[in-house]
């Protein structure tokens, strides 16, 4: 089974702090994604990556950056955390090519609270 591991289940940070959310997958997937989940808004794509060192903006990239130095690891960075970034953050991965590349495997999520 694919395993996507997010380093923290819960995080509490202060406004203005730099925050790192880490995600590791063990299935050699090329594609990795960061989503945030908010009530009434569903899952919204922040950033994604199709290869090492490569990144693409999603629908809501403002206030975030990412890093993909190794194939298995995709990090989400909040440069200066703000209260409106309080959310559930979900990392996902998928294999490239064909109809199955759209099938995402998600981690358990990180509930981030910014005070």
Partner 1 sequence: DQQVKQNSPSLSVQEGRISILNCDYTNSMFDYFLWYKKYPAEGPTFLISISSIKDKNEDGRFTVFLNKSAKHLSLHIVPSQPGDSAVYFCAASGNNQGGKLIFGQGTELSVKP
Residues that bind partner 1 (CB under 8 A): 4, 9, 31, 33, 35, 40-45, 48, 50, 56, 58, 90, 92, 94, 96, 99, 101-109, 111
Question: Least distance from C-beta 38 to partner 1, angstroms?
Answer: 9
Cα 67 from Cα 75, distance rounded (Å): 5
Do the beta carbons of residue 87 and residue 37 sit within 8 Å?
yes
Q: Which of 53, 115, 45 has its CA nearest to residue 83?
A: 115
The nearer residue to partner 1, 3 or 18, going by C-beta atoms, is 3
Question: Least distance from C-beta 63 to partner 1, angstroms?
Answer: 19
Question: Least distance from C-beta 14 to partner 1, angstroms?
Answer: 24
The nearer residue to partner 1, 67 or 101, going by C-beta atoms, is 101
Cα end-to-end span (Å), the chain: 37
The nearer residue to partner 1, 65 or 106, going by C-beta atoms, is 106
The nearer residue to partner 1, 23 or 81, going by C-beta atoms, is 23
Place of tokens 């590791």: 24
Question: Least distance from C-beta 60 to partner 1, angstroms?
Answer: 12
Sign for the pseudo-dihedral over CA of 108, 58, 95, 69: negative
Backbone angles phi, psi at 101, to 5 degrees: -70, -15
């Amino acid at each position: 089974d694919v395993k996507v591991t997010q380093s923290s289940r819960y995080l509490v940070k202060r406004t203005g702090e730099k925050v790192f959310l880490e995600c590791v997958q063990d299935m050699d997937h090329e594609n990795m994604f960061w989503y945030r989940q908010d009530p009434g808004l569903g899952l919204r794509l922040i950033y994604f990556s199709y290869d090492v060192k490569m990144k693409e903006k999603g629908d809501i990239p403002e206030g975030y950056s990412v890093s993909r130095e190794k194939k298995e690891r995709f990090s989400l960075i909040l440069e200066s955390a703000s209260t409106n970034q309080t959310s559930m953050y979900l990392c996902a991965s998928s294999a490239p090519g064909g109809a199955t590349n759209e099938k995402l495997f998600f981690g358990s999520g990180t509930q981030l609270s910014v005070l």
